[in-house]
Structure 1
Amino acid sequence: MSRSDSVVVTGLGPVTAIGVGREKFAAAIRKGASGKRPITQFATDGYQYNHACEVTEVAALIRPSQDAGRAATFALTGALLALDEAGVTPSEVESNRVAVIIGTCDGEAAEADALARDGITNVNSGAARRFHQPLSQLVASELGWGRAVMADIGNACAAGNYAIGYSLDLIRCGVVDIAVCGGADALSRKLFSGFHRVGTIAPGEVKPFDRNRKGILTGEGAGMVVMERLEHAIALGVEPRVEVAGYGVNSDAGHPVAPDPIRISECIRAAHADAHLEPEQVSLISAHGTGTPLNDRVETKAIRMVFGNPPAVTAVKSMIGHSMGASAAIGAIASAVAMEDSFTPPTIGFSEADDDCDLPVVTNAMTAQAPSVVQNHGFGFGGVNSVLLLSKR
């Protein structure tokens, strides 16, 4: 499937509630691990529910040399893990030929929680500076890439795919040779309270596409990848992992939170066109799959509009929770791992089929099916849609 302008992924850096680093994450999604646990980041007195998918492997996190918050720590950890996998030494890279692009919903909103909790009004305080610092700027600074192309993309829960897609464009257009990109978000009281208030927190397990689905579990973490032109990777003696075949993005802008199946189906078709692929060539869909009644029904309808006979579908949020701006990027990493290791990750927590979600969902246990092309979804509030296509090398 390679073309002369091929862009490949050479490093994977997942930071999740079920594992930090490629090997731990891969082992966890193979066995269908759940990241659900009681919240420890803030007091949950007075809330009906107190569980989420927190990152607990603190010892595995790489601390920035600067004063930084939790989301930036996740992003830097993922970036360094991905660079190590790619065999890239940051100091040996020309910083005017690289990009650091990070998708996020809330950035360091957890630091804003701390400001409010501690009554801090001084905008020059350490906590205030952490709240306002762009994640991409901190990561680029830590890597010594002062002249890098840097951007934080705040396109809600589609942000991780947007960051990868933007990086793909930068590489295709010759602006940069290499990109460190993905998404990062940290669990915050603000985030949890908002979803709790509108009644979308699941009382138990997340159950995407299940008849008894009740909502999401908030999560956190990062999904960072290293992307390069194929020729650049080969020249450096780096083994490509998977190819970034193409992507599509669009917007509904019709309702603050309700997705539009027609616009999502158009986004899927745009991704197929960019990747020069036909629907029948897609062997696995890594769904947005939040586990909310509306989202899963609409996503099913959109898939059915494009695919006469849909391929297998999986939803990794059943394991890692909804990590917001990081979620689509982590889904992309799960897609890459599935292709490299020749398996299809499960959708855990599934117990009863729903006629409104009549998709071939891989339920509760992985299969030995080896996907060759994976379609990764990321949709967000405000009607932002993103679809990424990855193919096996």
Structure 2
Amino acid sequence: MYDNDQRPRQVVITGLGLVTSIGLGVEEFLAGLRAGRSGAKPITAFDTTGFAHSHGCEVTDFDPAEWIRGFEPEELGRATQFSVAAANMAVADAGIALEELRTRRTMVSVGTTDAESRDLDLLVGEQLDEGPEHLTPGVVRRAHASRLSSSIVRELGLTDVEALTIPTACAAGNYAIGSGYDAIQAGDVDVALCGGADAVCRKTFAGFYRLGTIAPEMCQPFDRDRKGILTGEGAGILMMESLESARARGARIYAEVLGYGLTCDAHHPVAPDQDGLARCMARAHRNAGISAQDVDFISAHGTGTKANDVTEAGAIRQVFDTPPPTVSIKSMVGHSMGAASALGSAACALAIAEGFIPPTINHRETDPDCGLDCVPNEARPAELSVVQNNALAFAGNNAVLILGRHREAT
């Protein structure tokens, strides 16, 4: 049920918090997108002995003490450090005082693939070496997935709040943003801090490596010679609020959330399904009240694997008579798992606000089986009205988010 006049409220993005391998915060992330910066480098998070190749997109210039006030850094796992820091960044970027935020009805929703699997890797090692009675208590306490969202609540001192962690793997960021959109639109909350966070860990790297999907040095989405993903890490938290709330405090608006679509086709544990993704895109368009031809560019899931890119391109052509420019920022920041679609959504919001399409870097020759304009290697100026952010996850969990230039209610 909707508040007041029973009409759904418009939802706008007023703050962005970003922890990425190409920069921290809006200015650095935006500069990295414009320049086509690569975050790829040798992995240092764990011992990579025995792997023939071990590049990834780690965050290397992050000092949690600079961004987190309510905890000692060692109280939090690395993914939670990212989520809390990104939430602080988003609140600061939105220009809202904490005292005011604490008076608002708020949702905190964070998506993840691995949660604190980096700590779980450590605990498994301790159990194998010394037995379960010798597990480090502090690491056990910080390993629960709920800490990704509950720690934001504690850090910001929120009281009138709904908090949840969403574990729908690589589509989780869009799922989390969609949950915040629904809550604001329905009038359940005034403000939502939503996105995703994950940290590089041995478990996920080794799993993708055994699947044969880890690229040796770089990620090349939609390229004829693509070899797979690079695992990455980071966090993207979007501060969303009702248009009334944003207007009342004179907030800057990056973009409006127009709608989203979800599907779960359960076609295969790891292989994407073209029809399932096509249904998800069509559902997102209906929910947003747009048609396919209204979309000015697509931020693709674009992992750089053989199967994903061909399947995603096929689904796009199934929905769009003439596909718009379609890019993958994973070519720059790697696959940051639960953070991936949140970072993609932030990139879309910045693209609308700043008037450009980010590039797909490391591109040499477009795979004819993909056949998309992937904006190779250099950003492109563009006046954007509507953009689409795709997210795919194992077991066919798809989430497509639609953002637009802010429009006044009719």
Same fold (TM over 0.5): yes
Deviates more, 1:129-138 or 1:340-349: 129-138
Deviations 1:94-127 (A, max 9, x none): 4671000000001111011111233362578110
Aligned to 2:67: 62
1:256 to 2:261 alignment? no
Return the letter of the residue paired with 1:145.
L
Return the letter of the residue paired with 1:54.
E
1:106 to 2:114 alignment? yes
Query: What is the correspondence of 1:62-101 to structure 2 with a 5 Å cutoff?
Result: 62-63=67-68, 65=71, 67-94=75-102, 97-101=105-109
Measure, in 1, the Cα distance between the counterparts of 2:323 and 2:211: 32
When residues 130 and 295 of structure 1 are mapped into structure 2, their CA distance, relative to the original with a 3 A threshold, is: same
Shift of 1:88: 1.7
Q: How many residues align?
A: 391
The secondary structure found in structure 1 opposite 2:357 is coil
Could you tell me which runs of 5 or more consecutive residues in structure 2 were left unpaired when the two chains were aligned: 1-6
Deviations 1:78-99 (A, max 9, x none): 1111100111223323467100
Deviates more, 1:118-127 or 1:232-241: 118-127
1:369 to 2:382 alignment? yes
Return the letter of the residue paired with 1:377.
N
Aligned to 2:23: 19
RMSD: 1.5
Structure 1 contact 14–223 (Cα < 8 Å) conserved: yes
Query: What is the correspondence of 1:295-334 to structure 2 with a 5 Å cutoff?
Result: 295-334=308-347
1:237 to 2:277 alignment? no
Measure, in 1, the Cα distance between the counterparts of 2:353 and 2:342: 17
Deviations 1:284-309 (A, max 9, x none): 00000000000000000100011001
Shift of 1:15: 0.7
Aligned to 1:46: 50
Aligned to 2:132: 121
Query: What is the correspondence of 1:205-354 to structure 2 with a 5 Å cutoff?
Result: 205-354=218-367
Return the letter of the residue paired with 1:329.
A
Deviates more, 1:119-128 or 1:173-182: 119-128
Could you tell me which runs of 5 or more consecutive residues in structure 1 were left unpaired when the two chains were aligned: none
When residues 49 and 95 of structure 1 are mapped into structure 2, their CA distance, relative to the original with a 3 A threshold, is: farther
When residues 185 and 95 of structure 1 are mapped into structure 2, their CA distance, relative to the original with a 3 A threshold, is: farther
Return the letter of the residue paired with 1:83.
V
Return the letter of the residue paired with 2:385.
S
Measure, in 2, the Cα distance between the counterparts of 1:338 and 1:11: 14
Structure 1 contact 10–240 (Cα < 8 Å) conserved: yes
Measure, in 1, the Cα distance between the counterparts of 2:182 and 2:59: 31
Return the letter of the residue paired with 1:268.
M
Measure, in 2, the Cα distance between the counterparts of 1:5 and 1:273: 17
Deviates more, 1:110-119 or 1:166-175: 110-119
Measure, in 2, the Cα distance between the counterparts of 1:90 and 1:377: 32
Measure, in 2, the Cα distance between the counterparts of 1:35 and 1:240: 28
Structure 1 contact 252–259 (Cα < 8 Å) conserved: no
When residues 364 and 174 of structure 1 are mapped into structure 2, their CA distance, relative to the original with a 3 A threshold, is: same
Which of 194, 197, 218 in structure 2 is aligned with 1:184? 197
Deviates more, 1:184-193 or 1:94-103: 94-103
When residues 146 and 125 of structure 1 are mapped into structure 2, their CA distance, relative to the original with a 3 A threshold, is: farther
Deviations 1:205-253 (A, max 9, x none): 1010011111000000001010000011111221211000110001111
Return the letter of the residue paired with 2:26.
R
Measure, in 1, the Cα distance between the counterparts of 2:260 and 2:15: 19
Measure, in 2, the Cα distance between the counterparts of 1:390 and 1:92: 26
Which of 144, 150, 155 in structure 2 is aligned with 1:132? 144
Structure 1 contact 95–148 (Cα < 8 Å) conserved: no
Structure 2 contact 46–202 (Cα < 8 Å) conserved: yes
Measure, in 2, the Cα distance between the counterparts of 1:15 and 1:96: 25
Structure 2 contact 145–165 (Cα < 8 Å) conserved: no
Measure, in 2, the Cα distance between the counterparts of 1:340 and 1:171: 22
Aligned to 1:156: 169
When residues 235 and 95 of structure 1 are mapped into structure 2, their CA distance, relative to the original with a 3 A threshold, is: closer
Deviations 1:361-384 (A, max 9, x none): 100111112322110011000110
Measure, in 1, the Cα distance between the counterparts of 2:270 and 2:194: 26
The secondary structure found in structure 2 opposite 1:348 is coil
Structure 1 contact 96–149 (Cα < 8 Å) conserved: no
Deviates more, 1:210-219 or 1:353-362: 353-362
Measure, in 2, the Cα distance between the counterparts of 1:201 and 1:220: 15
Structure 1 contact 32–346 (Cα < 8 Å) conserved: yes
Measure, in 1, the Cα distance between the counterparts of 2:8 and 2:201: 44
Percent of pairs with identical residues: 47
Return the letter of the residue paired with 1:98.
T
Measure, in 1, the Cα distance between the counterparts of 2:79 and 2:241: 25
Aligned to 2:4: none
Measure, in 2, the Cα distance between the counterparts of 1:248 and 1:355: 28
